[in-house]
Structure 1
Amino acid sequence: MNNPKIKGKYKDLRKERGSYAENKAVSYLTDKGYRILHRNWRCRTGEIDVIAEQNHVIIFVEVRSRSSRSSAYGTAMESVTPRKVNQVRSTAAVYLHSRHCSDSPVRFDVVAVQLGPDGQVESLEHVENAF
């Protein structure tokens, strides 16, 4: 039988690791000259992890992370499914419409963060125009 306390602790740890990876991704993007407009922007269609701007291009960034313990489930980059791509695109359309910037150039990036056994970043991969 499942122990709800253990399940809750696992979920909290997963959220903590996800937040940590997202913070590292934002630091990386900022260091590369991106201006962060929003983090965790939500609407009825979903959530976008990071919305940034660089050279007058609005960039929607999906941050994915994996720990070395979860490597059996594939890499962080491999976790970007067609369903996720559609959800991010739909949410981006809502964002652009709500901000009256539908004519702005846009790009969809992925930042994949691999965490080691100690919870620290082993690698960070930034793919521009990922989808």
Structure 2
Amino acid sequence: MEAWTRAELGALGEQLAVDYLTLQGLRVLARNWRCRYGELDIIAADVANRTAVFVEVKTRTGEGFGGVEQAVTPDKVRRLRRLAGLWLAGQDERWHAVRLDVIGVRIGRRPTPEITHLQAVG
């Protein structure tokens, strides 16, 4: 396998996550939304039940950093909640619910990327 830069790997993982979410019936509203406090990888809508879904994408090529579960610390969840609140404050649409998800993308271990989707992490 050729060597990927971190940016290339991250971009590939995010695109695979977007494709996966779209197949799950979610509508992607924004990618790489930034403000002074940080960035949200993907903001999607579960239109059927009017839920805003904020997705953190973790792309890995090996086991070196642990699984997806270890990637989302309580500090990370707090930061994602804060960013989600800031994004929501700028929207006109009202949501019935808000959810924080994590999608792990593992590339290179198998011929096709492996996707792990953890819903409602915090």
**TM-score normalised by L of structure 1:** 0.80
From 49, 56, 59, give the equivalent of 1:62: 56
Of the structure 1 ranges 20-29 and 104-113, higher mean CA displacement relative to structure 2 is found in 104-113
The structural deviation recorded for 1:107 is 0.7
Amino acid at match of 1:63: V
* Contact 1:21 1:65 (8 Å CA) reproduced: yes
Equivalent runs, 1:28-39 vs 2, <5 Å? 28-39=20-31
Q: Structure 1: which 5+ runs fail to align?
A: 1-9
Higher helix share: 1
* Contact 1:66 1:76 (8 Å CA) reproduced: no
The structural deviation recorded for 1:102 is 6.2
Higher Rg? 1
Overall identity of the aligned pairs, in % = 37
Q: Which residue of 1 aligns with 2:43?
A: 51
Q: Structure 2: which 5+ runs fail to align?
A: none
For these two proteins, the number of residue pairs brought into alignment is 118
Over the aligned positions, Cα root-mean-square deviation in angstroms equals 2.1
Equivalent runs, 1:79-118 vs 2, <5 Å? 79-101=71-93, 104-116=96-108
